[in-house]
């Protein structure tokens, strides 16, 4: 029976609507009257959040050994953390690992919340490797290019992070024509090199300010190029990866282009305190994930927590912060059916308390949390 949810301010993907209600009929949002009413105790109703960078969950990392069943588990875990749609993300690995993960994602087709894949590497810049294995970073070959383009035909979406040091503008143009979302990251490039990559078809930047050439007065680097209006840039708003002052500068420079990512690793939705990444030990301490030498290795973060940190430390308007985790990622993936609460859209939505704590999650109309 149609159910109407009341008592919370509704964010429909673009606008906050105090006093509005949300009606769900089966697995879809409807504008008809509900026969049942469910009263929420304040807070906010949002579209299900979308996370374009999740490296793991439930104690496991995305890898070449990940199975279709693992992908289903990743999606379920992240849904219970507020992200009803995710791009499982493989960091720099071998061609065999990449091919295996694509095959697993194809076998997992139709899994609720599986939006596609994000391949973060291996075509990066070893000078900005971060926690990636430098031994596996390499230039893109014709075989790599063809494999990625073929992989896109088998997946609902494919986002690839590359660095200008390892790909050519022509390769970026080919990826873009194939329907792949190209993002620049782990790059020590100049502003001019980044601009050429954007002109070739790259539209995004991966985890702004982290593992990239920084903004200086005479060489703006990739960080400066990322703040160009019209470019999308992922932001890890945990208060550790990016200082609040830097977040405020980026929000002022490119207010419509930033979106939130968790960069979540294996501990997401799990009590584990350490794990391994490419044979290296990763420590989980006080909300921080690091290699033993202190290098940040992903984030211990959920998107609701990122919203709370962004609003609290930068004063970002609620409509903007909510859109950065819902309708903006949907637009990047060309998914107008997601990231909005409107008649006919999937009934994927979450309830946040006034403190932005996660109070409830519904996917296809069914409550998960």
Task: Kindly report the pTM of this predicted structure.
Answer: 0.97
- According to the model, what pLDDT value does residue 120 have? 98
Mean pLDDT over the full length of the chain: 97
Superfamily of segment(s) 49-332: Metal-dependent hydrolases (3.20.20.140)
SS3 state at 150: helix
What does the DSSP 8-state code read for residue 341?
-
pLDDT in tens, 142-188: 999 999 999 999 999 999 999 999 999 999 999 999 999 999 999 99
CATH 2.30.40.10 correct for 3-46+341-367: yes
Domain definitions of the chain by residue range: 3-46+341-367, 49-332
Size of the chain, expressed as the number of residues it contains: 369
All residues at 6 or more sequence positions from 312 whose CB lies less than 8 Å from its CB, including other chains: none
pLDDT in tens, 197-242: 999 999 999 999 999 999 999 999 999 999 999 999 999 999 999 9
- According to the model, what pLDDT value does residue 125 have? 98
Distance CA 360, CA 369 (A): 5
Distance CA 310, CA 174 (A): 36
- According to the model, what pLDDT value does residue 1 have? 84
What Rg do the C-alpha atoms of the chain give, in angstroms? 20
Tell me the torsion sign for CA atoms 331, 335, 338, 340. positive
Closest CA to 159 of 139, 125, 183, 195: 183
Distance CA 116, CA 233 (A): 19
SS3 state at 212: strand
DSSP 78-95: HHTTTEEEEEEEEES--H
Closest CA to 120 of 56, 202, 74, 185: 185
Q: Are 45 and 338 in contact (CB under 8 A)?
A: no
pLDDT level of residue 35 (50, 70, 90 thresholds): confident
pLDDT in tens, 346-355: 999 999 999 9
Model confidence at 34: pLDDT above 80: no
Q: Are 225 and 195 in contact (CB under 8 A)?
A: yes
- According to the model, what pLDDT value does residue 279 have? 86
The torsion of the CA quartet 149, 153, 159, 161, rounded to 10 degrees, works out to: -20
Closest CA to 348 of 327, 324, 365, 325: 365
Distance of CA 280 to the CA centre of its chain: 24
Model confidence at 261: pLDDT above 90: yes
Q: Which positions are catalytic?
A: 263
Closest CA to 346 of 331, 330, 364, 369: 364
Query: How confident is the model over 265-284, as a mean pLDDT?
Result: 94
Distance of CA 111 to the CA centre of its chain: 18
């Amino acid at each position: 029976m149609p159910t109407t949810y009341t008592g919370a301010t509704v964010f429909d993907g673009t606008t906050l609507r105090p006093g509005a209600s949300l009606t769900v009929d089966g697995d879809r949002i409807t504008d008809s009257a509900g026969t049942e009413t469910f009263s929420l105790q304040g807070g906010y109703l949002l579209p299900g959040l979308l996370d374009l960078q999740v490296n793991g969950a439930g104690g496991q990392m995305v890898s070449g050994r990940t199975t279709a069943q693992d992908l289903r588990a990743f999606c379920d875990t992240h849904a219970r953390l507020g992200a009803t749609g995710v791009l499982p993300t493989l960091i720099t690995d071998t061609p065999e690992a990449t091919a295996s993960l694509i095959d697993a994602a194809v076998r997992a087709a139709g899994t609720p919340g599986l939006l596609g894949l994000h391949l973060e590497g291996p075509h990066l810049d070893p000078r900005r490797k971060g926690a990636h294995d430098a031994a596996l970073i390499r230039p893109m070959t014709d075989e790599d290019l063809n494999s990625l383009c073929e992989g896109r035909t088998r997946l609902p979406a494919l986002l690839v992070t590359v660095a200008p040091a390892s790909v050519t503008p022509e390769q970026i143009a080919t990826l873009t024509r194939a329907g792949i979302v190209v993002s620049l990251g782990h790059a020590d490039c100049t502003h001019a090199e980044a601009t050429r990559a954007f002109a070739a078809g790259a539209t995004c930047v991966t985890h702004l300010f982290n593992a990239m050439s920084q903004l200086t007065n005479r060489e703006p680097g990739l960080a400066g190029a990322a703040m160009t209006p019209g470019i999308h840039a992922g932001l890890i708003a945990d208060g550790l990866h990016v200082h609040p002052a830097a977040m405020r500068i980026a929000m002022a420079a490119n207010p419509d282009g930033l979106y939130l990512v968790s960069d979540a690793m294996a501990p997401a939705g799990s009590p584990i305190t350490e794990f391994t990444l490419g044979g290296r030990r990763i420590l989980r301490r006080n909300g921080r994930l690091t290699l033993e030498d202190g290098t940040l290795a992903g984030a211990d973060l959920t998107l609701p927590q990122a919203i709370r940190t962004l609003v609290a430390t930068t004063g970002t308007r609620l409509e903007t912060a909510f859109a950065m985790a819902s309708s903006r990622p949907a637009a990047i993936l060309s998914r107008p059916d997601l990231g909005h609460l409107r008649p006919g859209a999937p009934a994927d939505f979450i309830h946040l308390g006034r403190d932005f704590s996660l109070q409830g999650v519904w996917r296809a109309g069914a409550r998960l949390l």
